[in-house]
Amino acid sequence: MTVCLQLTGVVVSLLGWFSSVACCLLPLWKTILFSGQTLMMKQKMVEGLWISCNIPGPGKAICRTFGSNKELTLEVYAGRILMLITVTMALLGLFVNCLGSPCIVCVRSRELKPRFLTASGITFLVSGVAQLLAVSWPAYVMATDFHHPLVSEVLLISMGPCIYLGWLGGTLLLIGGALICCPCCSRRKSDYGGQYPASGRSSDIAGRNFV
């Protein structure tokens, strides 16, 4: 049962890592629609953490990267840092989990393998929290801009698919980390609680011998 939970946690965390990588690379964080009085004036623009694309028509896209002279907002800077932390920490968690796997023979100590598994679960939890923060902050800013009274009626700002994909990836990382940590924590509690009956028996035996 413990092996099944840990294997499920690794699979779920791996899916969350793939979602985080896709969310970090795709320019679908923010969707801006410029709508004029005629259909010919409507244009769509999507932005991500690294590039922005102008879509003048179906099947056409003009993309450019954010230059150093472009003033990025604070949530974009924070999103970049948090997304890099998420991808790196999740990849590190997968590597540490491989070290704690019973199939890997490079670590032969039975005491170190549960510690590696616990460390990998904590790493996935941290990466999941960073992922949720990375997408929740821009989502809050976009929701505030959408309801702002100064925003023109011809400018429609909405959240892109990467925001929802980021929420999904962060949730998967949290679930995977929890599934990996739970068996290790329960095993430690059982080992810790099992020490006291043995000491109690030894004290009773010693008392009987003393009498």
The dihedral built from the CA positions of residue 184, 185, 188 and 193, taken in this order, carries a sign that is negative
Place of tokens 């003033």: 71
Identify the pLDDT of residue 128: 94
Which domains are present in the chain?
2-26+69-152+162-190 (1.20.140.150)
**Does 5 or 198 have the greater pLDDT score?**
5
**Does 6 or 57 have the greater pLDDT score?**
6
Residues written for the chain:
211
**Tens-digit pLDDT profile for residues 182-205:** 765 555 444 444 444 444 444 444
CA–CA dist 184, 84 (Å, integer): 28
pLDDT at 105 over 60: no
One-character DSSP codes across 4-52? HHHHHHHHHHHHHHHHHHHHHHSS-SEEEEE--SSGGG-EEEEE-SSEE
**CB 162, CB 28: distance < 8 Å:** yes
What distances in angstroms separate CA 169 from CA 18, 23, 158, 211, one per listed residue? 8, 9, 20, 65
pTM given for the model: 0.77
Q: Which residue type sits at 201?
A: R
Confidence of residue 36 (pLDDT cuts 50, 70, 90): low
**Tens-digit pLDDT profile for residues 126-173:** 999 999 999 999 888 888 766 655 555 557 778 889 999 999 999 999
